[in-house]
C-alpha cells in the first residue's frame, strides 16, 4: 500500500495545494489500491478511471497556473454511493432494474463535488435502492468489511464505508434514510454524518423515502467529514425540501473541537438506548466514551425520550409506504430494465414481468408492506398512526434539547455481524437501525464517530451524537474533541487477509 492512501483528506489536500504531490499522483495511488484489494472487498460497482484522472489533471493544471484551489479539498479523491446520478456514468442503485443506466444529468451533490475539484473515483456498492442494513441486498454481490471479510460493512451504504476502511478512498458520500450512513460508519470504524434534513440537496438522489432520505459525508476523521459537508451542503432551488438557510459552521466547529475542551457543553445520554438487546462489548465501549466526554469537561445527564421505543415500527410503515410510491416509476416503459418485450405481451404483462425480474426480495417486501399500509381501509390505522408517532418522537427531541446541547447513544446495538447471519430474519436485520431511526423521523442532525473496538470481538463500535436541526456544528465540535481524546483507530485495522499489500 502506498503512503498516499493512508493520508487523511485534509493531509492530502495540503500536499496537493502546496504542490508537494499532484492530484494525479494521489488519484492514481487510490486507483491502484482499488485494483489491488477491491476484488476482496467489492466496495465499488464502477470505477471511472478516465474521468477521475481527467478531473485530477484539471486541478493540477489550475494550481500550476497559479490559481487558488476552488475548495479546501480540491484534488482529493472520493467514492460516491451509487444512488446519486452521475452524467454518463452508470447509476444502478445496486439493482438489476437500472443495470447499465447512464443518467443524462448530475445530482446536485455530484455537481457540487465536481465544481469543488473533488475527484470522483467511481460508484460504490449498496443495498438495492438503499433498502437494507448490510449491503447483502445488492444485485451485484455483498460488500465485505475490511476488518473481517466474513462480516458485513453495514448498509445500505456499505460500499462507501468499506472503501474508507480499505484505504481505497479518503472521502465518500453516503445517504441516510434510517441509518445508512451512521450504521456502516460504526461497524467499519469510520465517521459518518446525517446532516439536518434539507441541509443537503436531494435533487438527483434516487428516492427511497422522500421525507427521510438525506445525503451526507463519510470520512476517516471528523475534520475531513466537515470539509466535505461544507462542499455538498446549501440551498438548492431544484429541491423543494431544501432549507434556504446558511450552512452551519461545521469546519469551524470541528477545528474548535480539536482543542479537546468541551467545557460548557451539556450531553444527554438517551436512557432508552441501553440494556437488553445491546451487545455487552458495545455497551462497555459506550460507557467508556461517555466517561471520556466527562473528562473533556462536558456535563453529562441522563435524558428520557420515551417515544423513541416506537421509532422502529413507525419507520417500517412510513419508509415502505413512500418507497411503494417512489418505485412505481420503474415500470419498464421509460428507462431501465425491460423483459418479455417480444410483441406477444401486453404493457401490463411486460411491467409485471420486468418488476418481478428486476427487483430483489427485500425491495419487493417493502413495496408490499407499503402498498398494504396505504391501501383503502388501512391508511389511517397504519400510515396515519405512524405519522402521529413521528410527531411524538419530534416532541421528545424538542424537550430533550431544551435541557442539553447534544444527545448520545451507541450507534448500533452490535458490532458487524457475519454475512448471511440475518438474511432470513428481516426483524433482526431491521434492529441494526434501532438507535439511528429517530433522528431521521425528526429530521435532526446526527453523527457516528468511532468509539474504539469491542473488548469481545475486536471489531469497531460507534458513538452516535445527535443535535437539533440546523445545529450540525455541535456534532462536529463534540465529535472532534472525542476523536482526539480517543486516539487513532484505523491504524489498528488488520491488512486484508489473502490480499497482497
Measure the CA–CA gap between 287 and 269, rounded to whole angstroms.
Answer: 10
Measure the CA–CA gap between 165 and 12, rounded to whole angstroms.
Answer: 17
CB neighbours (10 Å) of residue 145?
31
Helix (H) or strand (E) holding 107: none
Question: Hey, where are the domains in the chain?
Answer: 3-308+391-492
C-alpha cell at 221: 476523521
Burial class (CB in 10 A: 0-12, 13-18, 19+), 6: middle
Active site residue 180: yes
E strand spans, 317-384: none
Topology of domain 3-308+391-492, per CATH?
Amidase signature (AS) enzymes (3.90.1300)
C-alpha cell at 226: 466537515
Among 26, 495, 443, 29, which Cα is nearest to 211's?
443
Sequence-distant (6+) residues with CB within 8 A of 56 are 22, 23, 24, 26, 27, 75, 77, 119
Q: Please state, in angstroms and as integers, the Cα–Cα distance from residue 162 to each residue in 76, 86, 92, 171, 495, following that order.
A: 18, 21, 18, 11, 13
What single string gives the DSSP state of each residue in 418-437? BTTSSTT-HHHHHGGGTTTH
From the list 15, 81, 123, 194, the catalytic residue is: 81
C-alpha cell at 302: 441522563
Check residue 229 and give its pLDDT.
98
C-alpha cell at 173: 458520500
Residue 171 — φ and ψ, nearest 5°?
Answer: -140, 155
From the list 10, 180, 221, 324, the catalytic residue is: 180
Check residue 1 and give its pLDDT.
44
Check residue 499 and give its pLDDT.
56
Check residue 351 and give its pLDDT.
86
CB neighbours (10 Å) of residue 160?
38
Asked if residue 156 has a cis previous peptide bond (ω within 30° of 0), the answer is yes
Model-wide pTM > 0.75? yes
Check residue 343 and give its pLDDT.
78
The answer to whether 233 and 247 are in contact (CB under 8 A) is: yes
From the list 23, 156, 201, 454, the catalytic residue is: 156
Check residue 501 and give its pLDDT.
39
DSSP structural state of residue 243: -
CA contacts within 13 A on the Cβ side of 275: 7
Q: What is the pLDDT along the chain (501 residues), one digit of tens a residue?
A: 458 999 999 999 999 999 999 999 999 999 999 999 999 999 999 999 999 999 999 999 999 999 999 999 999 999 999 999 999 999 999 999 999 999 999 999 999 999 999 999 999 999 999 999 999 999 999 999 999 999 999 999 999 999 999 999 999 999 999 999 999 999 999 999 999 999 999 999 999 999 999 999 999 999 999 999 999 999 999 999 999 999 999 999 999 999 999 999 999 999 999 888 899 999 999 999 999 999 999 999 999 999 999 999 999 999 999 999 999 999 988 889 998 877 788 888 888 998 999 999 999 999 999 999 999 888 999 999 999 999 999 999 999 999 999 999 999 999 999 999 999 898 899 999 999 999 999 999 999 999 999 999 999 999 999 999 999 999 999 999 999 999 988 888 877 754 543
Q: Does residue 390 sit in helix, strand or coil?
A: helix
CB neighbours (10 Å) of residue 339?
16
Measure the CA–CA gap between 454 and 281, rounded to whole angstroms.
Answer: 5
Number of helices and strands (H, E) in the chain? 16, 11
Amino acid at each position: 500500500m502506498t503512503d498516499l492512501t493512508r493520508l487523511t483528506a485534509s493531509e492530502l489536500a495540503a500536499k496537493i495545494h502546496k504542490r508537494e504531490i499532484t492530484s494525479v499522483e494521489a488519484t492514481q495511488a487510490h486507483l491502484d489500491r482499488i485494483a489491488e484489494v477491491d476484488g476482496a472487498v467489492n466496495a465499488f460497482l464502477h470505477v471511472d478511471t478516465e474521468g477521475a484522472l481527467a478531473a485530477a489533471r484539471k486541478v493540477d493544471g489550475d494550481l500550476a497556473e497559479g490559481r487558488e484551489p476552488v475548495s479546501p479539498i480540491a484534488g482529493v479523491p472520493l467514492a460516491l454511493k451509487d444512488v446519486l446520478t452521475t452524467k454518463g456514468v452508470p447509476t444502478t442503485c445496486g439493482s438489476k432494474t437500472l443495470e447499465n443506466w447512464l443518467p443524462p444529468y448530475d445530482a446536485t451533490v455530484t455537481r457540487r463535488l465536481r465544481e469543488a475539484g473533488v475527484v470522483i473515483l467511481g460508484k460504490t456498492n449498496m443495498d438495492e435502492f438503499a433498502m437494507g442494513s448490510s449491503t447483502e441486498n445488492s444485485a451485484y454481490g455483498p460488500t465485505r468489511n475490511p476488518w473481517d471479510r466474513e462480516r458485513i460493512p453495514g448498509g445500505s451504504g456499505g460500499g462507501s464505508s468499506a472503501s474508507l476502511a480499505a484505504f481505497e478512498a479518503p472521502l465518500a458520500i453516503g445517504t441516510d434514510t434510517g441509518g445508512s450512513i451512521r450504521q456502516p460508519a460504526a461497524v467499519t470504524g469510520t465517521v459518518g454524518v446525517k446532516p439536518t434534513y434539507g441541509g443537503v440537496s436531494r435533487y438527483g438522489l434516487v428516492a427511497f423515502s422522500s421525507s427521510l432520505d438525506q445525503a451526507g459525508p463519510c470520512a476517516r476523521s471528523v475534520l475531513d467529514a466537515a470539509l466535505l459537508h461544507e462542499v455538498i451542503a446549501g440551498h438548492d432551488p431544484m429541491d423543494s425540501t431544501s432549507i434556504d438557510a446558511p450552512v452551519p459552521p461545521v469546519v469551524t466547529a470541528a477545528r474548535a473541537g480539536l482543542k479537546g475542551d468541551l467545557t460548557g457543553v451539556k450531553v444527554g445520554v438517551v436512557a432508552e438506548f441501553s440494556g437488553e438487546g445491546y451487545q455487552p462489548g458495545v455497551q462497555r465501549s459506550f460507557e467508556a466514551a461517555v466517561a471520556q466526554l466527562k473528562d473533556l469537561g462536558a456535563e453529562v445527564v441522563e435524558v428520557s425520550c420515551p417515544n423513541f421505543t416506537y421509532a422502529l415500527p413507525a419507520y417500517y410503515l412510513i419508509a415502505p409506504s413512500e418507497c411503494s410510491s417512489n418505485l412505481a416509476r420503474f415500470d419498464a416503459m421509460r428507462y431501465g430494465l425491460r423483459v418479455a418485450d417480444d410483441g406477444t405481451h401486453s404493457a401490463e404483462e411486460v411491467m409485471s414481468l420486468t418488476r418481478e425480474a428486476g427487483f430483489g426480495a427485500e425491495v419487493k417486501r417493502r413495496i408490499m408492506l407499503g402498498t398494504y399500509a396505504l391501501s383503502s381501509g388501512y391508511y389511517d390505522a397504519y400510515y396515519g398512526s405512524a405519522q402521529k408517532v413521528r410527531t411524538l418522537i419530534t416532541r421528545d427531541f424538542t424537550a430533550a434539547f431544551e435541557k442539553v446541547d447534544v444527545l448520545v447513544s451507541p450507534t448500533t446495538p452490535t458490532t458487524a455481524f457475519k454475512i448471511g447471519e440475518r438474511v432470513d430474519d428481516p426483524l433482526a436485520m431491521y434492529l441494526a437501525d434501532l438507535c439511528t431511526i429517530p433522528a431521521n423521523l425528526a429530521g435532526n442532525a446526527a453523527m457516528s464517530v468511532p468509539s474504539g473496538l469491542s473488548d469481545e470481538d475486536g471489531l469497531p463500535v460507534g458513538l452516535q451524537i445527535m443535535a437539533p436541526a440546523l445545529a450540525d456544528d455541535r456534532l462536529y465540535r463534540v465529535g472532534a474533541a472525542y476523536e482526539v481524546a480517543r486516539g487513532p483507530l484505523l491504524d489498528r485495522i488488520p491488512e486484508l487477509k489473502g490480499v497482497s499489500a
